[in-house]
Amino acid sequence: MEVYKRWVRQNKEFVHSLESLANGMTWLLPERFSDSEIGPEAVTTILGIITAINEHIIDTTPTQNVPGSAEPNSFPYSLCLSTIKDLETLVEVVAQHYYGDDKKWNFLAVTEAIKVLFRLSLFRKSGYKMLLCGGETPNDEKDSDNLTSQHQIGRLPQSRNPWNLEGKALSALSRFGENARLLSDPTRLFQVKHHHETMQPSASTVERPTLLTVMSKKGLRGVLLLVGEVLFITRPLIYVLFIRKYGIRSWTPWFISLAIDCIGTSIFSLVTTSMAGGKKQKVKLSASEKDEVKRRKLLLVLYLMRDPFFGKYTRQKLESTEKVVEPIPIIGFLTAKVVELLIGAQTRYTYMSGS
């Protein structure tokens, strides 16, 4: 396994290209969206799990005591969430094949509940920071100002020292002499090790913010951020439970899910541009968190592909567009293929769930 990890880390660009090609080819598998698509979907699931494992291997590349780096022995939440998402589509297909369209929602509710538990646990463990891509991407980015200042401080001596190579050589000789003295004096070695353990605690002993500390530091804005994140985490489960009760053709689950998403995105917009004393007072978000907010807003487009809106409006528009461009060579063929894939993918909850 270590040999495979080393190969993936050394050839990550090749691995990414190969995974993209393989995952793209799965859309061309025969009977991809037919009633007997368990085989093609199983292939897609296996490729997805392999991709998730490779990404986890790359993300957990060992580093040299970098402050704020991920804990090497921490629970692999991102890998588990990615694996569950890949398995969810196969669970949906198998449940629909053996138990029917109505009872498959029982299995989907279970998988969504498992994802909610994992995400809530990760949300708490991360110090109540925003989940990126539903927790599949670690939110380890620090404040950009702090990173810039630390980076500049770390590089300042080298940039201003014209005798950089000589300085490095003298520093290496000094460390070599110090290590030799420590090895020859066990008592001094113990004292130095004890001093380092006392002055530089390991990353595992760093205290994470608790719910009370977050609420006390950020006040009402912190509470609203927590509420918005919990709504985003629990929305897919609520949506499936309402579909299970009212059916996929009912407008009730569609409107309730849309309302939850709109409330969540409105909370983030309100908190990040809140008014205080006539002046705009923004909550600082990292670059990754800003991208995540944009991603969540784009996910609202998926409501156009969810029933009953899709069956009543979107499908008619797609089919009419296909008829218009059908006589055009190449473009007509490609449009027909795209429409076919969209209609086929829309039949799967997991492709349009945005969870």
Q: What does DSSP say about strands 279-281 and 274-276: parallel, antiparallel, or unpaired? A: antiparallel
What pLDDT is attached to residue 84? 92
First to last CA, the chain: 31
The pLDDT averaged over each successive group of 10 residues in the chain (355 residues) is 78 75 66 63 81 82 54 74 90 90 94 95 90 87 43 37 44 49 47 48 54 70 87 96 95 97 89 57 77 92 95 93 90 89 88 87
Distance in angstroms (rounded) separating the CA atoms of residues 302 and 353: 8
The SS3 call for residue 278 is coil
3-state helix/strand/coil string of 26-57: HHHCCCCCCCCCHHHHHHHHHHHHHHHHHHHH
What pLDDT is attached to residue 282? 57
pLDDT in tens, 249-258: 999 999 999 9
Name the average pLDDT for the chain: 76
What pLDDT is attached to residue 40? 76
What pLDDT is attached to residue 305? 94
pLDDT in tens, 297-341: 999 999 999 999 999 999 999 999 999 998 898 898 899 988 988
Beta bridge partners of residue 275, listed in sequence order: 280
The full set of domain ranges for the chain reads 62-141+209-352, 147-205
